[in-house]
Amino acid sequence: QVQLVESGGGLVQAGGSLRLSCAASGPIFSIFSDYGMGWFRQAPGKERELVATITSSGGSTNYADSVKGRFTISRDNPKNKNTVYLQMNSLKPEDTAVYYCNAYLSPLGPGRGYWGQGTQVTVSS
């Protein structure tokens, strides 16, 4: 069974911080370091958008312009951790969305592969 389980969402005031986690489990993730990881978000009435990605090795990251300088993606590859994080600082009301974790093999690119169930982030003004 493949599972990506997000946690860490919640309600925060504008200017605050949250740290999202996504834990990967299941036999297909026995080599977690084979997978690139991404965070996406979807606000009500809007399409799902890419927030940040990190390569399988963790050596390269990419961010949407709207979150650059505020969000940081990172990952733990060692065995039995298999977790990717999204540190979100200086949060704005427009960051309010359901945040989804995505695991993909590099040839496919972000947005393909496996998805978590999502975690709600609400930023109040």
Q: What is the pLDDT of residues 73-83, one digit of tens each?
A: 999 876 556 89
Split at pLDDT 50, 70, 90, the class of 13 is very high
Report the half-sphere exposure of 10 (CA within 13 A, side-chain side).
11
Q: What is the mean pLDDT of residues 80-104?
A: 93
Q: What is the mean pLDDT of residues 1-14?
A: 92
Tell me what pLDDT residue 90 has: 98
Tell me what pLDDT residue 125 has: 94
Task: Answer yes or no: is pLDDT of 47 > 60.
Answer: yes
CA distances from 43 to 40, 112, 121 (A): 10, 20, 10
Tell me what pLDDT residue 3 has: 87
Query: What's the sign of the alpha-carbon dihedral 30, 62, 10, 12?
Result: positive
| DSSP run (H or E) holding 27 | none
